[in-house]
Amino acid sequence: MLGLRACLVLPLAVLLAGVSASAQTSLSASITNGQENPPTNPTLSTGGARPVSFGTATFAIDSTNTSIRFTATINNIDITGTQTADPNDNLTAAHIHASPTVTPATNGGVVWGFFGSPLNDNNPRDVVITPFASGAGGTISGKWDAPEGNNTTLAAQLPNILAGRAYINFHTTQFGGGEIRGNITLAPGISTGAALPAGRIGVGYSQTLAAAAVGTTPIWTATSGTLPAGITLSSDGVLSGTPTAVGTSNFTIQASTGAASFASKTFSLAILPTSLSFGNALRLGHVVDAANFATHFSIVNTGFLLPTNYPSTAGVRGSIRFSTAFADLAVTGLRFSQKNSFSSLGGLSKLQGGGLTALGGICIG
């Protein structure tokens, strides 16, 4: 007599959840006149007022702690020398400053320069400068590589940077010591797993997202992808609502504590039917042998309600086994119709029922 053995079956969502995000460390800075010591008040060379200068910057330390990539956007500072007629706003130098004694209220020496002098972005030279199409300012990006530094190294300065004892500084013709500055701080980290708990059609759903403590409550926003129909995201990080359609949605959510201090993560949320009829699924799995032959099915249970009975005509006896993460629920003694029977199930890879395709498998042997 043929015997059947259940195959190990894992939901697709579990497989996807095994792909983890990069281990890089994210930091950011909000850059203003007021953070300079002393604070600056930009003016024209003639004494008149000029627009307030400001900016933002983001930083990413790679997973091996051997480089830092950054992108800074600065406004109302002439980064080419030709964006405005007045020379006072001309950018002359830009650096990262750090030391064990740096605080938001104290200054520190240059540890890495990427514009002007000292210039330490040279092994290799990575800086890219993109002026605004109109107005004064633009975007500057680059990478601090391990061998680089102003009489120091990246490895020596990482403890200061990670402890908040570093700042990015932009110097101008008017303010040789720095016109705008921003303390470099850790960006909020999103700790909620990428694979969210599944929801069901017509059943209220609520999931609160969590971020690492950064001293300020983050604001949450969806930046790309589409939330499941019926689900919304609140600014305090709660996904809630009543799902209205079956399917899996992928979307990216950002947690922000300021213009430049943010982290983002891509999530997956599956919406399942409230219940499932296994009529079609069971017909796919019939094996006809003898009256006492046990037909076994192994179906991934992703939250469906178990049917109380299965209408059938005379047939063989069998059982259904639902596999969950930590326990099995077995129902035996059901009688299956012999209609549409299979003589071999070796190639069966999908079980369909109620409009859903579930990963599954049955092995003969």
Domain boundaries, the chain: 4-13+275-364, 25-186, 202-272
Pairing of strands 231-233, 262-272: unpaired
Q: What is the model's pLDDT at position 100?
A: 95
Q: Taking 50 as the threshold, does the pLDDT of residue 85 lie above it?
A: yes
3-state SS of 241-301 is ECCCCCEEEEEEEEEECCCCCEEEEEEEEEEECCECCCHHHHHHCCECCCCCCCEEEEEEC
Least confident of 43-57, 92-106, 213-227, 278-292: 278-292
What CATH number has the domain spanning 202-272?
A: 2.60.40.10
Over range 107-118, report the average pLDDT.
97
Q: Taking 70 as the threshold, does the pLDDT of residue 69 lie above it?
A: yes
Over range 100-118, report the average pLDDT.
95
Q: Strand order of the sheet with strand 180-183?
A: 110-115, 91-98, 166-172, 180-183
pTM of the model as a whole: 0.55
- Single-letter amino acid code for the residue at 324: T
What CATH number has the domain spanning 25-186?
A: 2.60.40
* Tokens standing for residue 127: 């800086």
CA distance 299 to 9: 8
Predicted confidence (pLDDT) per residue in 300-321, tens digit: 333 333 333 333 333 333 333 3
Alpha helices in the chain (DSSP H): 12-17, 154-162, 279-284
Residue of 180, 185, 110, 124 lying closest to 152 (CA atoms):
110
Residue of 68, 40, 42, 264 lying closest to 166 (CA atoms):
68
